């Protein structure tokens, strides 16, 4: 018997489209990975009666009701008071919650305000879920066969509570259905080309296995899910290894890997260092690399040379090359990579120079034209890519693609 | 009397978090701008009974029910058949819909498949909404005081139908309520400090005005919404100007502004240029600045100096300062800013050096300690901030804070 879950997202900002409801997406992924079925997502405003109606409706359909939002310290946040009414309980001051709030303020060099102090008052009927990343504690209410869990709407606070407290507690209390997931991350091949390559493999899947194509900027994730049948691991592994043979050249990682985490692990393993020289990506490549904790062990630095002058002064790109071929060219990409490797004294350097638009395009070099260079101790080359016309997508895909160039270089030659 | 709208999004992929529900965000924005109130968003799977239950529930709360998804040509798409049952009608072949489908296929050099041909069959009870961008027509059902509108889930197909057909028809049939929104963007003050400062102003708000606090990393957005009363603009503007007086030092922009767009406009207006030197933000500050189209007019470049060696070689930070004060110090922040301004030959330079964690913290310099420097033609100073313990949040807030330092410097002295 499947345990049904419902999610209630509270906040006017979701109804008027001021923010995208990424919490629902993330929670849906986590529940599905944990073997629970998210039956319905209900988004409502900060309104007492609507919250109570939504709680009653969800209770009539699901055993587990997750709630996000409306826990801020200000007047428009009603969730805590409404839950007090709903469960016919009252607020009590919680020492632990208060010391968490103190720590948050302390870490930001501030003292707790009266308004925030009230966030330490919790319904006496709930089991508090303490918040190490923000000032609003979560609340866990056991209610007959049902459980209601209220969490803050701030994504990284909610995510920490789900992973550290809520999902583990749910697994103790409710049977999850057998479920296995395996995700393969590919780069350099489109969704439909992938599906053509693996068509016969996909057609052989039994009904309890489902393949999902999850395209994202510059990559396609393939997620195979087995659901509802015991002991699927062995079967899953066999199918995955068959799949890997079919698309080996395009695979760069698995499950929660990112191209920056995969490249980071490779650099650590080989004890190599890297620097980057960026033009059109404007620092995003450096940002991706340094978003990985511990990246300072292999990332020495990067130069964002947006102007030709800085390409020459900072990366010793020759004025001649800029004049003869233009800033977006094979020659300049290679010189940028060589320059970055030299000034940061690293084993490898990546360079990106291109036209992200909306301006700057021409007939022979349209928007989306991007040259990427790589320099090593004994080689140096550049490749040209056409990455569409959307500025932010060009930046994202260019950075991912450059990291994948480095990954292949390391795997093939080191 | 307010016309309530409900939105029903149909599709398993939304429940397991395979795609983000950007349709709900976009539709919420459009309705709000048009003066309709989106009361609830309900997301359910491709399941007949759940769709019927959602339709009945929405009908009991709202006059207008918008539906997206489940109109594809494959077996798992049920919406059209369920609507036939719900309105007790039957499918009829629609010539216009079929010729639309033919055109789509011809444009792709293909002939219509039998599966797609069935997409031209529509419920006889509906007014078809023809689809010029895809193969699934929309359906408009008048039903007593209610209207039900079914649209495809593909965003650009749905958006075209909403703008060209659905919103204009709704405005003929239902009175839109007067609605005004104004958002003020603040930096450098917390949600609760804000609410303390404006408490009496907020308490004076009449019931048809509502204030929302929308905190995000490093900033708080204040959104004032007036609803349901005619001619609120004047009252709105008076309240906003009062509010501005109360929190003037913290305001950096309005509505859809970002700190990077505001700083970019200032630099363009004053015809000044900027460069940056980053350590712990690892390129994210450069990325924010260059995410603005046209930023090449004022952004000359940036250096990500992750290692002490590169701080010295690239930014001429003195070995003495690094030895005496450490990389995360006022002296080094100032030297980094001076160095960046010099090598990129700009009017201004910003620097950021700090400890983003998870490693590298100490008692006197805990994780989250960040020094930010600014160099101009006649001044140079640095400030210290404590930005919590979450690596990515520290990076985000540090970049926003540095940009706000520059904004204040320009406004006060240029």
pLDDT in tens, B172-207: 999 888 888 899 999 989 888 999 999 999 999 999
Please determine, for residue B3, whether its predicted confidence score (pLDDT) is greater than 90: no
- CB-CB under 8 Å, A27 with B16: no
Which of these three, A254, A274, A297, is where a domain ends? Answer: A254
Share of chain A above pLDDT 70, in %: 100
Q: Please report the pLDDT score of residue B1 as a whole number.
A: 61
Contacts B360 to A, Cβ<8 Å: 296
**In this structure, what CATH number is given to the domain that contains residue A322?**
3.90.950.20
**In this structure, what CATH number is given to the domain that contains residue A236?**
3.30.70.2860
**Same structural domain, B18 and B156:** yes
* Nearest residue of A to residue B202, measured between CA atoms: A75
**Same structural domain, B33 and B114:** yes
- CB-CB under 8 Å, B44 with A39: yes
- CB-CB under 8 Å, B291 with A306: no
Virtual torsion, Cα A316, A318, A319, A325, nearest 10 deg: -130
Which of these three, A139, A173, A207, is where a domain ends? Answer: A173
Q: Please report the pLDDT score of residue B180 as a whole number.
A: 87
Distance from CA of B94 to the nearest CA of A (A): 30
pLDDT in tens, A301-330: 999 999 999 999 999 999 999 999 999 999
**Same structural domain, B334 and B193:** no
Count up the domains in chain B and report the number. 3
**Same structural domain, A190 and A327:** no
**Same structural domain, A202 and A264:** no
**Nearest CB to B299; choose among A37, A110, A306:** A306
- CB-CB under 8 Å, A305 with B304: no
Rounded distance between C-alpha atoms, residue B191 and residue A72, angstroms:
8
pLDDT in tens, A69-102: 999 888 889 999 999 999 999 999 999 999 999 9
**Same structural domain, A338 and A222:** no
**Same structural domain, A27 and A155:** yes
**Same structural domain, A103 and A226:** no
- CB-CB under 8 Å, A39 with B50: yes
Distance from CA of A107 to the nearest CA of B (A): 5
The residue among B193, B227, B287 with the most chain A CBs within 10 A of its CB, best to mutate, is B287
- CB-CB under 8 Å, A293 with B359: yes
pLDDT in tens, B35-82: 898 999 999 998 999 999 999 999 999 999 999 999 987 777 899 999
* Residue-range definition of the domain harbouring residue A219: 179-254
Name the nearest CA neighbour of A304 among B285, B147, B98. B285
**Nearest CB to B196; choose among A46, A54, A115:** A115
Q: What is the pTM of this model?
A: 0.82
Mean pLDDT of B140-163: 94
State residue B186 phi and psi, 5-degree precision. -120, 155
**In this structure, what CATH number is given to the domain that contains residue B76?**
3.40.980.10
Mean pLDDT of A107-133: 92
**Same structural domain, A31 and A101:** yes
| Mean model confidence pLDDT for chain A | 94
**Same structural domain, A25 and A167:** yes
Mean pLDDT of B162-168: 97
pLDDT in tens, B362-413: 999 999 999 999 999 999 999 999 998 889 999 999 999 999 999 999 999 9
| Mean model confidence pLDDT for chain B | 93
Other CB atoms within a 10 A radius of the CB of residue A369 amount to 23
**Nearest CB to A18; choose among B196, B214, B290:** B214
Rounded distance between C-alpha atoms, residue B89 and residue B131, angstroms:
22
Two structure tokens written together for A283: 């620092």
Share of chain A above pLDDT 90, in %: 79
**Nearest CB to B287; choose among A133, A283, A358:** A283
- CB-CB under 8 Å, A57 with B214: no
**Same structural domain, A14 and A141:** yes
Which of these three, B197, B219, B254, is where a domain ends? Answer: B254
Strand order in the sheet with B64-68: A127-129, A138-143, A146-151, A64-68, A4-10, A37-44, B37-44, B4-10, B64-68, B146-151, B138-143, B127-129
**Same structural domain, B150 and B25:** yes
Please determine, for residue A2, whether its predicted confidence score (pLDDT) is greater than 80: no
């Amino acid at each position: 018997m499947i345990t049904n879950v419902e999610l209630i997202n509270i906040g006017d900002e979701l109804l008027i489209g001021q923010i995208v409801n990424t919490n629902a997406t993330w929670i849906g992924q986590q529940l599905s990975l944990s073997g629970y079925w998210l039956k319905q997502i209900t988004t409502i405003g900060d309104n007492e009666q609507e919250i109570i109606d939504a709680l009653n409706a969800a209770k009539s359909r699901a055993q587990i009701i997750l709630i996000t939002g409306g826990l801020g310290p200000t007047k428009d946040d009603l969730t805590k008071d409404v839950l007090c009414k709903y469960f016919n309980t009252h607020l009590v001051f919680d020492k632990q919650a208060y010391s968490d709030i103190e720590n948050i303020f302390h870490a930001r060099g501030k003292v707790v305000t009266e308004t925030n102090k009230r966030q330490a008052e919790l319904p006496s009927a709930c089991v508090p879920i303490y918040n190490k990343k923000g000032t609003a504690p979560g609340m866990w209410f056991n209610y007959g066969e049902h459980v209601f869990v209220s969490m803050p709407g701030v994504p990284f606070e909610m995510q920490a509570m789900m992973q550290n407290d809520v999902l583990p507690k749910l697994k103790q209390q409710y049977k999850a259905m057998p479920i296995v997931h395996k995700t393969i991350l590919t780069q350099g091949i489109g969704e439909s080309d992938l599906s053509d390559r693996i068509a016969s493999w996909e057609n052989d899947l039994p009904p309890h296995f489902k393949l999902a194509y999850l395209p994202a900027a510059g990559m396609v994730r393939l997620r195979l899910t087995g659901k509802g049948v015991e002991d699927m691991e062995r079967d899953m592994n066999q199918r995955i290894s068959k799949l890997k043979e079919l698309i080996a050249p395009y695979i760069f990682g698995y499950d929660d890997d990112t191209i920056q985490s995969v490249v980071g692990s490779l650099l650590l393993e080989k004890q190599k260092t890297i620097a980057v020289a960026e033009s059109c990506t404007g620092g995003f490549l450096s940002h991706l690399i340094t978003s990985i904790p511990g990246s300072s062990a292999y990332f020495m630095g990067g130069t964002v040379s947006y102007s030709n002058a800085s390409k020459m002064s900072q990366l010793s790109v020759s004025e001649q090359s800029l004049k003869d071929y233009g800033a977006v060219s094979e020659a300049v990409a290679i010189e940028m990579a060589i320059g970055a490797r030299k000034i940061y004294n690293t084993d490898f350097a990546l360079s990106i120079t291109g036209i992200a638009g909306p301006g700057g395009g021409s007939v022979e070099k349209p928007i989306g034209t991007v040259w990427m260079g790589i320099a090593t101790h004994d080689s140096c080359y550049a490749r040209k890519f056409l990455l569409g016309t959307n500025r932010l997508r060009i930046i994202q895909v260019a950075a991912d693609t450059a990291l994948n160039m480095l990954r292949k270089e390391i795997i093939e030659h080191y």
